[in-house]
């Protein structure tokens, strides 16, 4: 039987119970009402009429209207004859009353009249008792019938109440247990319901689905295990450290490199909450604290100091984050190569500086008239040798400074210095270069500036570099403004030229090593290291460096230091 049919039968049964009780109640109430009305309307009224006639009979000689009152009640009684023998008694009463009317003063027939009235009263009283007995029996019968029916229907309804919820809830509970088992990947779970209804159909469909899932799981299990084993092998063979976390930051796996770096075994921490592990492991704490940091990590591994870059990769499935993979890339080899490169550049630059200085000095001596006169072509060649030697000497100086920066061995001689002294050193070094292009240098220094704690030589080197670059990119016979001023407690140095300017998209990289603004250095030479070295020199002294530029309006390079307390 279908579930819909069962529910329909239950509801129809409840409807019939309500209708049956209603009909029986109405029928018995109507029967009792009719019987009560018969008692009141027929017999009780006759008793009232009889009492009225007795009262009128006693008052005939006293009141004139007593005869009329007796006559009226007698007429009513004649119309209300309902019991056997009541008509004869009423007729006898009528005859005796007519005799009384013939001579009202004669009271000889009063006893006969009273006797007829008493007979009528007796007949109606007996009828009332009889009808009351019938009504009582009818009420008892109705009570018994309704009680029996109520008891039977109550038992049937209780049976429905007890069994119907189970008919619905038991299959639902069984299905829920099956669904929970499937959710836990127990694909061998089956549901057996003997019901031939919708629940039975659902159980059959569920078993088919579970069978398909079980078949699919078994068919792919070996392949999945193989792929898992292969991936684990690949991960363990990598030189990089790899740590896998789930979406709640529990540890899923570590490869062999990660085990060495952390000093932990995968089997000891698998499934543990990563922040809990980090409480007792400094490297894990560092990896979890700032996942966006690009700072190199120095870790002692393989009996030496090794360098690693950290990458945190988010694992997503349908735009939902399901975990993270932390990758520690081993960059020790690159670090060693970079250090070797830096040492090589420093060595070569240092070795080249002495012969280049000798070439420069020799070229300068050749121009001395005391040694001998040179013709025009010889002088031009000598000046060319001098300029090239100067350029090579500058390049080697920059390379030496860059090597110093890269190795982190910047030698600073910090001492109180006046901004005026730094400006004088800088202007003296670039004056000849500015004169060659007819450029006017316009220093503007705020009076009474306080001392600053800096390395005078390196700070002057930065200012010279700014002014030299400004001269390179300024048109001939133009001007360069050099400002030194105090702003919000800082002492600021700023060089403003009015050349072509720098495009906004290049300004963020202007202080990067070896970066050259496209189209600006091809004809002017340069290594692309000057500004990078300047940035390192200023920031190593606790200062700030900046650039401001607009195309067609020139550029402004500057740096600032906190004044001496």
Q: Tens of pLDDT along 221-272?
A: 666 666 667 777 777 777 788 888 888 888 888 888 888 888 888 888 888 8
Q: What does the mean pLDDT of the chain come to?
A: 78
On the question of pLDDT at 465 being above 50, the answer is yes
Distances in Å between the Cα of 312 and the Cα atoms of 238, 263, 287, 289 are 17, 20, 9, 11
Task: With cut-offs at 50, 70 and 90, classify the pLDDT of residue 1.
Answer: low
Query: Tokens 């792919």 appear where?
Result: 220
**Which is nearest to 483 in space by CA: 554, 544, 419?**
419
**Which is nearest to 190 in space by CA: 157, 214, 163, 154?**
214
**DSSP one-letter string for 20-47:** HHHHHHHHHHHHHHHHHHHIIIIIIHHH
Cite the beta strand spans of 338-478 per DSSP E: 414-417, 440-445, 452-455
Tokens of 384: 């060319």
Is 3.30.565.10 the CATH classification of the domain at 411-562?
A: yes
Sequence-distant (≥ 6) Cβ neighbours of residue 160 within 8 angstroms = 10, 13, 14
Task: With cut-offs at 50, 70 and 90, classify the pLDDT of residue 345.
Answer: low
**Which is nearest to 397 in space by CA: 428, 456, 357?**
357
Tokens of 261: 């770096």
pLDDT in tens, 305-325: 777 777 788 888 777 888 888
Which range has the worst mean pLDDT, 8-12, 19-23, 218-222, 448-452?
218-222
Please tell me if the domain spanning 238-329 has the same topology as the one spanning 411-562: no
**Which is nearest to 74 in space by CA: 106, 55, 97, 58?**
97
Assign 3-class secondary structure to 289-336: HCCCCCCCEEEEECCEEEEEEEEEEEEEECCEEEEEEEEEEECHHHHH
CATH dotted code for 238-329? 3.30.450.20
Q: Cα angle at 217 between 213 and 220, to 5 degrees? A: 135
Query: Tokens 């070229």 appear where?
Result: 363
Domain boundaries defined on the chain: 3-169, 238-329, 336-404, 411-562
Task: With cut-offs at 50, 70 and 90, classify the pLDDT of residue 558.
Answer: very high
Tokens of 372: 């001998």
Task: With cut-offs at 50, 70 and 90, classify the pLDDT of residue 174.
Answer: confident
Percent of the chain with pLDDT over 90: 15
Contacts of residues 316-321 at CB distance under 8 Å and 24 or more positions apart, as own/partner, are: 321/247
Tokens of 320: 């939902």
pLDDT in tens, 408-462: 566 778 899 999 999 999 998 888 889 989 999 999 999 989 999 998 988 998 9
On the question of pLDDT at 481 being above 90, the answer is yes
Task: With cut-offs at 50, 70 and 90, classify the pLDDT of residue 77.
Answer: confident
Task: With cut-offs at 50, 70 and 90, classify the pLDDT of residue 523.
Answer: very low
b or e along 11-46 (b: 16 or more beta carbons within 10 Å of the residue's beta carbon)?
eeeeeebeeeeeeeeeebeebeeebeebbeebbebb
pLDDT in tens, 104-155: 777 777 888 888 888 888 888 888 888 778 778 887 887 888 788 878 878 8
pLDDT at site 418: 93
pLDDT at site 195: 66
pLDDT in tens, 386-398: 666 666 766 666 5
pLDDT at site 294: 64
Query: What value does the mean pLDDT take over residues 467-480?
Result: 92
Query: What value does the mean pLDDT take over residues 24-33?
Result: 69
**Which is nearest to 285 in space by CA: 326, 240, 332, 330?**
326
Tally the C-alpha atoms within 13 A of residue 444's C-alpha that lie toward its C-beta: 12
Percent of the chain with pLDDT over 70: 76
């Amino acid at each position: 039987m279908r579930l819909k049919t069962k529910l329909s039968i239950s509801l129809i049964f409840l409807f019939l119970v309500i209708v049956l009780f209603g009909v029986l109640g109405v029928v018995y109430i109507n029967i009792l009402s009719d019987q009560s009305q018969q008692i009141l309307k027929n017999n009780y009224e006759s008793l009232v009429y009889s009492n009225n006639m007795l009262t009128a009979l006693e008052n005939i000689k006293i009141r004139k209207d007593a005869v009329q009152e007796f006559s009226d009640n007698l007429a009513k009684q004649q119309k209300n004859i309902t019991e056997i023998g009541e008509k004869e008694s009423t007729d006898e009463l009528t005859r005796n009353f007519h005799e009384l009317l013939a001579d009202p003063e004669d009271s000889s027939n009063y006893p006969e009249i009273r006797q007829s009235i008493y007979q009528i009263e007796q007949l109606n009283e007996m009828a009332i008792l009889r009808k009351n007995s019938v009504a009582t029996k009818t009420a008892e019968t109705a009570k018994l019938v309704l009680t029996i029916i109520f008891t039977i229907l109550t038992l049937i309804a209780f049976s429905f109440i007890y069994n119907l919820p189970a008919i619905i809830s038991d299959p639902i509970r069984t299905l829920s247990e099956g669904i929970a088992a499937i959710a836990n990947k127990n694909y061998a779970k089956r549901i057996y319901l003997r019901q031939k209804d919708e629940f039975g159909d659902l159980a059959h469909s569920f078993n088919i689905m579970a069978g398909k899932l079980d078949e699919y799981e078994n068919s792919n299990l070996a392949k999945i295990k193989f792929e898992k084993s292969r991936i684990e092998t690949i991960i363990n063979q990598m030189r990089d450290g790899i740590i896998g976390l789930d979406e709640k930051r529990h540890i899923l796996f570590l490869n062999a490199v990660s085990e060495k770096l952390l000093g932990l075994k995968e089997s000891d921490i698998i499934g543990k909450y990563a922040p809990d592990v980090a409480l007792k492991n400094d490297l894990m704490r560092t990896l979890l604290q700032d996942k966006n940091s690009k700072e190199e990590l120095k870790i002692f591994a393989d009996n030496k100091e090794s360098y690693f870059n950290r990458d945190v990769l988010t694992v997503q499935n349908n735009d939902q984050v399901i975990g993270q993979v932390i990758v520690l890339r081993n960059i020790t080899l690159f670090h060693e190569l970079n250090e070797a490169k830096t040492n090589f550049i420093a060595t070569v630059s240092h070795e080249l500086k002495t012969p280049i200085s000798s070439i420069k000095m020799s070229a300068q001596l050749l121009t001395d008239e005391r040694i001998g006169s040179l013709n025009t072509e010889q002088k031009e060649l000598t000046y060319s040798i001098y300029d090239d030697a100067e350029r090579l000497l500058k390049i080697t100086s920059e390379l030496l400074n860059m090597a110093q920066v890269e190795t982190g061995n910047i030698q600073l001689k910090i001492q109180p210095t006046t901004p005026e002294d730094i400006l004088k050193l800088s202007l003296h070094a670039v004056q000849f270069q500015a004169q060659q292009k007819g450029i006017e240098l316009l220093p503007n220094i705020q009076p009474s500036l306080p001392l600053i704690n800096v390395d005078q030589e390196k700070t002057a080197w930065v200012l010279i570099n700014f002014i030299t670059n400004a001269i390179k990119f300024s048109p001939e016979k133009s001007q360069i403004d050099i400002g030194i001023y105090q702003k919000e407690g800082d002492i600021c140095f700023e060089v403003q030229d009015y050349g072509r300017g720098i495009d906004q998209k290049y300004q963020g990289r202007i202080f990067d090593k070896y970066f050259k603004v496209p189209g600006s250095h091809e004809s002017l030479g340069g290594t692309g290291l000057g500004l990078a070295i300047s940035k390192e020199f200023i920031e190593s002294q606790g200062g700030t460096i900046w650039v401001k530029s607009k195309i067609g309006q020139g550029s402004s390079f500057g740096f600032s230091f906190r004044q001496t307390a």
